[in-house]
Structure 1
Amino acid sequence: MTFPHHFSSAASRGPVRRAVLATAVILCGMAGLAGCGKTISIGDTAPATPSSSSPPATAASGAGNTALQVVDSTAADAGLTGTGGTVVGAAVQEAPPKWVQLSAVTSPSLSDPHLININQAALYRFDGDNADPTHSHCNDACAAKWPPVTIKQGGNVYLAGVDRDEVGAIRRDDGQVQITVGGAPVYRFAGDTKPGDLNGQGVGRTWFAVGPKGERVTG
């Protein structure tokens, strides 16, 4: 996989209803992919002592089913191109993509590895999000400015320079499945309009590029 000149691959150096995660390692039978992957399932947290007068809680659409499949391979290895992934810019996806690529790279302004998607859009984390359990606090107007990296239920996540054990998912308040890395929900920034932009870096002192283990990258 190749990147624009301002990026260099770092692959060679290298959880309204609150959701919970369950992970299971499975064998991959995907043609053309040599590595194994893991499934990540999302289930709703049931009340500890439900009231007998209250109707039973219903799961969000798709809850309890496989949320995503993490594949030890790149999208390019699977013969995919950027047309299937999230895009650079402000538009919130009307339909989540079937697959997402997470790649660790370095750039002139950030020497430490940080994540981009298949179209070289920088990815970010928000210090205002909950870590335990993981929960996104960026919704509505915030999500328009910081579009969450969402994926279709059962979609594939391809990796380059990212450990599959760091990749997970949460059910957002709007029901969509959002990718997490190291437990941190991952976003794009509407102010990034072309590959290599890092205009969201340090905004409000709460938004930072996200590293391959979900860490904030400030270098």
Structure 2
Amino acid sequence: MTSFLSGLLSSGAAKRRATVAAALAVCGVASLTACGKTIQIGDSKDPSTPAAAPATSSVAPTTAAPGQGGAGNSALQVVDSTAQDAGLNGTGGTVVGAAVQEAPPKWVQLSAVTAPQLPVAHLINVNQAALYRFDGDTAGPSRSNCNDTCAVKWPPVTVEEGGNVYLAGVNPKEVGAVRRQDGQVQVTVGGWPVYRFSGDAGAGDLNGQGVDGKWFAVGPTGQKAVR
């Protein structure tokens, strides 16, 4: 595990440098966050509602329409750089391992990595926990069908209304959000709602891979990350 973490952190640093260099080349030095986009939150309870509508980063968050899972901000900012590059420390409130996520994080981070046990690109969160997708969900439109006891075993990757989603090795165009049945906002990649697995105790664990033939590590475009 130590060697895995060392390699992961080294790889992550390289990816961050590459991400920042690309962002500077496109956007200029003044503002990395200007490279992001504002996404509108779709409604998991209504299959006709789009998962995300891209807009420029200057678009102000809007209010959810009645019947769309709640009111208040219904937009998130996707930022094409890491939280560390944005001057943030810590986890944003993302919990570790099987701990219950009592409240949505203020921000989340998605990073694309490879590992000896899964040498294809797959996503991890800021705590280096593997992230997954569920074949029982839909991506077009985005819809989560993992609720109640399912969501205890497979905690959704949620974020606070109006929060930021930071990226490393993930195209901002692939990132969206959907409102779950409980009203929380869940991050999507390639339209697929994203989860972690309560059975993963630490960084590098992939115990959720292939469970029930429906759960798989999620790749940076939302695809199943398999050998």
With normalisation by structure 1, the TM-score equals 0.79
Which one of 162, 166, 181 corresponds to residue 170 of structure 2? 162
| Structure 1 equivalent of residue 5 of structure 2 | 4
Q: Is the 8 A contact 2:210 2:216 kept in 1?
A: yes
Q: Secondary structure at the residue paired with 1:142?
A: helix
Q: Indicate conservation of the 8 Å contact 1:70/1:156, yes or no.
A: yes
State the 1:62 CA deviation.
Answer: 2.8
> What is aligned with 1:38?
37
SS at match of 2:116: coil
Deviations 1:23-59 (CA, angstroms, capped at 9, x unpaired): xxxxx9xx86364211111255699xxxxxxxx9544
| In 2, Cα distance between equivalents of 1:93 and 1:112 | 28
Q: State the percentage of identical aligned residues.
A: 67
What SS does the corresponding residue of 2:41 show, helix, strand or coil? Answer: strand
Residue 71 of structure 2: aligned partner: 62
* Alignment partner, residue 106 of structure 2: 98
Higher percent of residues as helix: 2
Amino acid at match of 1:5: S
Unpaired runs of at least 5, structure 1: 15-27, 48-55
Aligned with residue 120 of structure 2, among 112, 118, 124? 112
Q: Give the secondary structure class of the aligned counterpart of 1:189.
A: coil
Change (3 A) 1:214 1:59: closer
Question: Residue deviations 1:66-119, cap 9 Å, x none?
Answer: 431001111111122233142332223111011001000000011110000111
Cα root mean square deviation, aligned: 2.7
Contact 2:47 2:143 survives alignment (8 Å): no
Provide the residue aligned with 1:129 in structure 2.
137
Distance 1:147 1:37, change over 3 A: same
- SS of equivalent residue, structure 2 residue 83: coil
Structure 2, gaps ≥5 residues long: 20-26, 49-64
| Structure 1 match to 2:186 | 178
Of Structure 1 and Structure 2, which has the larger fraction of its residues in strand?
1
Q: Which residue of structure 2 aligns with residue 52 of structure 1?
A: none
SS of residue paired to 1:111: strand
Q: Which TM-score applies when normalising by structure 2? A: 0.76
State the secondary structure of the residue aligned to 1:216: coil
